[in-house]
Each structure stands twice: as structure tokens, then as C-alpha cells.
Structure 1
């Protein structure tokens, strides 16, 4: 697949300085705040609106961007993109940031600058994931803090009151995601709240509270007992009502979903099956890297379902017979509440065996195949077959998530987190037993 956007002339975030003009910047959105209104001091009785987001264009550089303007403009701009999507920013104003004031409320960034977007001069354009370099897309899985710099949930509970009010990092799996609850405050401001239960090997249940719509929307995409998050800069506090410690997502927080860079253990198929037997009965998922071929990819078989409807509210598969989401009980016939998403099962094979029925879905499938769902549906059978053979002949480096399930084939449910063609030298080194293999 040719990346049409990759060859265009963009300014790297590492090269920013205040005297630059007519800039064009591309990056992936890794964090975003809600729209807020403030009294306009220049026009008494009216309000100005603002929201901020954080974009990243490399492993080491990310910056905050803030936009101010009328309510219609700001809400429209905020609604035009989400966390995890790529945007092109044109003509931003570069300002030196006030470290003490801004990083108290905004995500800490390695840059000395911030971007200011004006309604009259700046533009933000969403670009499709299949148009940009895969390296840019992969940055969404890279935490903004060192992947080893976090507290276990057990440590938080053990430290108790000594961490009250502290801002720390947390790495944990998602046990459950509560339904968003909406309320109106005494001064008639609308609010929302969502409680996420986390767990790790040290603690079975720990509450994280989301108060803003952006983090709540992100949380609704998490799959309980499957999704892992790295939450950078959450506030820890003691909840007197619960008599326990809790985490709160704040304006500084950036959450990385399924942080692939924390996965370092390389396995063969045979080793994975042995590990699955050892882990039988355990609720926690485990992760690994596999150098293998995709040996079954039935994207050109009309009898196999490759694309399915998913609920736009919770992300789960919609019952196609009833057009109803059984998870949040939304009837899709009355409003636009579904979207098409890849949803397929593939087999992965190396020299030791085959992993059957691995799940390849959503944006991971789009990135792997190099096309959107709409583009795929427009392909001829011959084009689909040609696309399939691009993968059947090549060894890939595949990041996988494993979950013990008696309902799954072989007792192991496998989800693909990332699948890219492997570097031949790296693959041969790991296949010869020199990689980081955990039995």
C-alpha cells in the first residue's frame, strides 16, 4: 500500500520554534479534553470556548495544542476527531509554554512549546489511518512515560494515605466498565461519571473514575478482561465512602490502551500452548510476540463473514438478526448507532505448530491489510485474493494477547494487537533461540 500522506512536507515536532510560520504538522492524537466555556472579558455576557489535545509524531516528541473560538466552531472541531486518530494541523501559532502553570493542568510534554489554534487562521484535518505511515499509527500504543515507571495496584493499596493526592502512573487490566451516569449540579451544569474497575496480579479490583466525556468515550471502547491500559498521571486519593484508594482521570492524564511496547517476551507456537496449559484457571491475560506466517486468511471466501456491524456506543458486535446491541440495549433501527468493522479469525503458523482462530478486528485489521472497510468491500474477488497472498507468503512480527477460555478452541482465546511484516534479521535471530523467550 502506498502512503500518500507520508511523502508530503511536514514539520517535525522536534523542530518547532516560535518564529516559524505557515506550518503543516501531522501527528496522532494521544489525549484530548472536553470543550469548556468561559466568560468573554471583551464581550460582557458572552462566552468563549476552548478545548485541548495532545499530538505525537515520534517516540520522543509530543506537544499540547489548544484552540479557542466560538461555541459552534470549537464543538465542531472537537467532534471532528478522537483519540487514536491522525490529524494534520496547518498554520498553528507556536508559543513557549509556562511550565509551572500549564503542566499543573495539562499533560507533561518533552517540548518547550505548545500549539495555539485560531478559528480564523488555523485548520485541523482528519486523515484516514490507511493514508499515513504505520510507524505513526503505532505510536498510539507507546506510553508517554517509561513503561517501567508505574505503581502496581497492590502498592497503591499498601501505601494507602501516603499516596493521597499524589499523581502517579498505573499499568493494569480492565475488569469492568460501568455505564456512564449523567447528572446536573446545583448550579445547573451538566456532568457525567463513569467507574472503571481495574485489576492486576497484586489486586483483584481497584476503582478508576472518569469525569469527562472524552475519557468516558475512550473507556467505553475497552473490552473487560482483555484490555490493558497504561494511565499516565492519574490522581490517587482515599475515598472515605468506600474506605479505599481510588484513581481519578484528570486533565493531565494520558491513557495508552494496550501498550504494545510493554510486550517483550518472544514465543513459538509450541511455547505458547505450553504456557496456556500452565496458566489454566487464571483470570489474567498474558501477552507475547510471535514471528509467524498468516496461514489462513479467508477474506476472499463469500461464505465467511469478514465485516460486521458494531455498536457505536459500546463497540460490541450487533446482533444482525435483530439489529440490536445486546450489550447496551440500543436499537439501531431508530438512529445511526452502528458502524462497519473488520471482524475475522486467522490462523498463525511457525515451525513448531499453528494457532487457530486468532481474532483480527477493527483498526488493527485495517492497519494489517492496508485498507479501510469501505475500500475492502469495493474490491473484486480477484483483488481480495491478491491481497490475501501478500500475507500468506511473508513472515510477520505479531503482538498477541492471550486469554484462557474454555469456550475457545484449544482453551485459548487469542487477539492480534499488531501485525507487521518482520525484519528478516530480527526474525531469524529470535527463531534461532536468541530472542527474549519466556516459557
Structure 2
């Protein structure tokens, strides 16, 4: 399968058994744990060290390997490769595994065996990805569980504490990877933890916690709002501090990034849709971002900043004190309120049917529904100019208009016009995000993160204070 070493006869993982003499195997590393030390029972006062990893050589077969030895050897071996690398293992001990005991703490594998690697008898070689056939690298995108065997985030939230302590599979997109935080335990052991925020079609933010260095390093390779993960065997617990369910990466967990499955492809479409529409910018945890925005701009300064944006990954966050100079809440309802599919987040047709082929190829429509939300285009004007076609949607629009969608739909035309002129006459304090977007006006998209009536004194002070207005 892989062009990795000429002249060697590798044993497929499927064909391994304990009676083989000096076997050599190869595979792609799909999971890995941290190095741990244990008291050596044979040598009082000394320690033995170990770590484990999981390798795969075919879609159907993967196996756990355990390396044991002295501290220097084990740490050096562990640091020599990561998840995603190809390894060759020469002369491992093939041993029948105790399925019930070992799979309680290690990844579940289809093999009846496990590999034991020792410093004296075994050799582990690492091969660069350029030496490996694409068919082997593609195994990194195949989940170790059935593609439909997972909980959605809404399933977890709705089941609540009934899932407390359970080990399950999760399919979700990465919203944010937090900064790793160091800590010291009561027995003076140092550790790290990292919080990853996940989301899917139904839940905008869900916490997954990584406690070990290997999973943290893996998480740091994910691209927020682009990467989709299939996390096999994560533990779900109720967090009293957060008053919500959280997922934890454990020694059993194997995480597949950007899985090549139909379910993951549909979620990927949602992720792209979110990125294009700015849906995520209006959700609740964006308020933390809003609170961190302090730079005040005029419209003219924002236009200058826009001209300096280099690519779609860069953005400008700022505050502008401006009037809503265009707010067509009395226009055709189709230009104010949009219906989207709850699964793929694409716009649906007049018969409330999703026409996206991948979404409709799913076997069950039981989790699909119609999501109705505000989707307005507004103009922002101050004494220096106007920003056209800014996006005011979702919860931010509800807050600005002072009503929910269902309430808005009951208003008469006269009431909508009165609402419009009430808002047009007030200066607003607006927090916004500005970024490049091919679908936006002039290739630019401006999304309102918050829009509230401005305090006149605060507005005058901020606008007149040179240090607060970015030049």
C-alpha cells in the first residue's frame, strides 16, 4: 500500500498473530497518548515509562501499540512522531489483548492483538508523508466508528444529565481553540488543559476539554470554523460550574479531522454557510468578543481599514457611533426574514423544503426543521460617510428591533413604519466586524455584533477623544 521501504516484507495488521517471527508492520498513526511513569516493581526506587499509540493500515484494520522502557528512550521515541505520521515497527511482540480490561482505557480496535515495543528488541522508524502513498494518508479521514454512530450536540444537550459519565461519539465543527493553560496539582505534577468550542447545525457552542499534551497539540492544528471532527469515545459529564454538559478527551479517544463521510460533508457545508453569512457572529458567546472591542472609528476610517485588509482570514473589529440610515423593515417580508434548513443552514424554497442534494440524501428527516430569523441589510451613516449593505441578523437584529420574529410578523404595516422611523432617528452604538467576502458588496462584508441606542454623553466623549479614535 505504501512506498516506504524497499526490500522489506510487511505484515498486514489483519494477518498479525503471536507466532510470527520478527514481524515488521507499518501504518499511519491515528491516536497517541502522553508519556507516563510508573514505579518499577523489579527495581525499587526506579521508574518505567510508557506511552501508547494506534496505527492503521487499511480502512477496516487498526491496532494499539504500547512502548515501554527507560525515561530517555520513551520520551525520545514519543517526541519523534505525532498523529498523522507513518511509522514502521520492526520486531514488536504480538500479544493477545484482554479486551474487557484494556478497552476500558484504550481505543477500541478490531484486532484481537496488541503490539508491545521494547527498547532492546524493537525498532520504530518514522517516514515522511512524501514517502507514503495517498491511499494510506487518506485513512486519516476515516472515523474509527460507523459514520452514523454519533450524537449531535443537540442530542447531548437535550438528554442532559442522563448521559453523565457516558462515553460516546460526537460529530461537530470546531468553533474556537482556546489557549492552553498550565496548572500544578496538589502533588506538584504539572499539567495543561485546553478548551475547544464546538458547534453544529443545532448548537452554537459546546465545550470539549483536552487535558493531555498530545490532544492539545492536535487541537492546535485545527482551523476554527473550517475543521470538522469525528471524536470517537469522548466522555460526557455534567459540569456544575458551567451548568451544562461538556465533553472530555480521554485515553480511549481517537479524533478524526475532516472525516470523509456524507454526514461530515453536510456539516462542512453548514460551516461554510456560517462563514459566508456571519451567522456565528450573532450567537451568544460573541458577547465576550464584543466586550473586548474598544477601538472607536468613524465611517471614513473604517473604509480606510477595509482597503488594508489582505485576505479573507483577516478582519477589523470596532465601534462606530452612527445612525441607521436605511432600515427597510416595511419592505417585502422575504427581504427581512429568511427560512433556513436546520441541518445544512441553506435557504429553503417557498414550500419550506430543503433542495440541497447532500442534505436530502440523508436517510432520516426527523431532525430537520425550518429556522426563521431576521436577515436585514442596513446602511450606517455618520458625519464622515456611509457604510452600505451591512448585515443585521439573528439575535442582534431582535435586540435592535426590540421584538422576536414571531412578534414582528404580527405587526401591521403602520406599526412597522413607526418602528422604522423610531430607530432611524436615534444614534446607535454599533459593534461590528468587517472582513473580505466575495458575496458582499464591493467584496466586503460588514456584520453588526451589537446595535443599541447610544448614550449621548458617551458618544460625544468617545468621538472627541483622539486617543480612542484609530487613525
Q: Which residue of the partner structure matches residue 167 of structure 1? A: 167
Q: Which residue is 1:204 aligned to?
A: 204
Aligned to 1:150: 150
Evaluate the alpha carbon distance shift between residue 96 and residue 37 of structure 1 in structure 2; reply closer, same or farther with a 3 A threshold.
same
Q: CA deviation at 1:276?
A: 6.6
- Which residue number corresponds to residue 191 of structure 1? 191
Deviations 1:236-286 (A, max 9, x none): 0000111100000000000001112346879xxxxx9xx9799745449xx
- Alignment check: 8 A CA contact 2:147 2:263 kept: no
Q: Taking structure 1 as reference, are residues 152 and 15 closer, same or farther at Cα in structure 2, changes over 3 Å only? A: same
- Superposed counterparts of 1:204-353, under 5 Å: 204-262=204-262, 280-283=277-280
Aligned length: 287
- Structure 2: which 5+ runs fail to align? 282-312, 315-433, 445-471
Report which of the two structures shows the higher radius of gyration computed on alpha carbons: 2
Q: Verify the 8 A CA contact 1:6 1:131 in the aligned structure 2.
A: no
Match of 1:112 in 2: 112
What displacement does 1:3 show? 3.7
- For 1:33, the equivalent position in structure 2 comes to 33
Change (3 A) 1:9 1:184: same
Decide whether the 8 Å contact of 1:48 with 1:68 is kept in 2. Answer: yes
Given the superposition, is the C-alpha separation of residues 255 and 152 from structure 1 closer, same or farther in structure 2, using an over 3 Å criterion? Answer: same
1:177 aligns with 2:206: no
- Please list the CA deviations of residues 44-102 of structure 1 after superposition, one character each: whole Å capped at 9, or x if unmatched: 00000000000000000000000100000000000000001100110000000001110
Asked if the contact 1:3/1:130 (under 8 Å) is kept, the reply is no
Distance in 1 (CA, whole Å) between partners of 2:274 and 2:48 is 59
User: 2:40 and 2:265 mapped to 1: Cα distance?
Assistant: 54
User: What is the deviation of 1:191?
Assistant: 1.1
Match of 2:436 in 1: 407
Q: What is the distance in 2 between the residues matched to 1:152 and 1:144?
A: 17
Query: Which one has a larger percent helix, Structure 1 or Structure 2?
Result: 2
Q: 1:264 to 1:258 in 2, by over 3 A?
A: closer
Gap change, CA 1:277 and 1:196, over 3 Å in 2: closer
In 2: Cα distance, 1:4 partner to 1:39 partner: 37
Q: Secondary structure at the match of 1:173?
A: strand
Give the Å deviation of 1:5.
3.7
Unaligned runs of 5+ in 1: 267-271, 285-315, 318-404, 413-439
Q: 1:14: which partner in 2?
A: 14
The equivalent of 1:61 in structure 2 is 61
- Match for residue 423 of structure 2? none
**SS of equivalent residue, structure 1 residue 120:** coil
Match of 2:124 in 1: 124
Cα shift at 1:4: 5.3
Distance 2:264 2:224 in 1: 23
Give the corresponding residue for 2:82. Answer: 82
CA distance, structure 2, for counterparts of residue 240 and residue 205 of structure 1:
17
Shift of 1:233: 0.1
Q: How far apart in 2 are the matches of 1:122 and 1:4?
A: 18
Greater shift in the superposed pair: 126-135 or 59-68: 126-135
Name the CA distance, whole Å, in 1 between partners of 2:43 and 2:129. 41
Alignment partners' CA distance in 2, 1:6 and 1:281: 51
Match of 2:326 in 1: none
**Aligned match of 1:137:** 137
Q: 1:204 to 1:15 in 2, by over 3 A?
A: same
Structure-2 separation of matches of 1:244 and 1:192: 22
Residues 176-203 of structure 1: per-residue CA shift (max 9 Å, x gap): 1111111111111111110000000110
CA contact (8 A) 1:194 1:210 kept: yes
Q: TM-score, normalised by structure 1?
A: 0.62
Instruction: Work out the CA distance in 2 between the residues paired with 1:194 and 1:71.
Output: 26
Residues 10-40 of structure 1 show CA distances to partners (whole Å, capped at 9, x for unaligned) of: 1100001110121111100000000000000
Q: Could you say what the CA RMSD is over the residues aligned between the two structures, in angstroms?
A: 2.7
SS in 2 for 1:192: strand
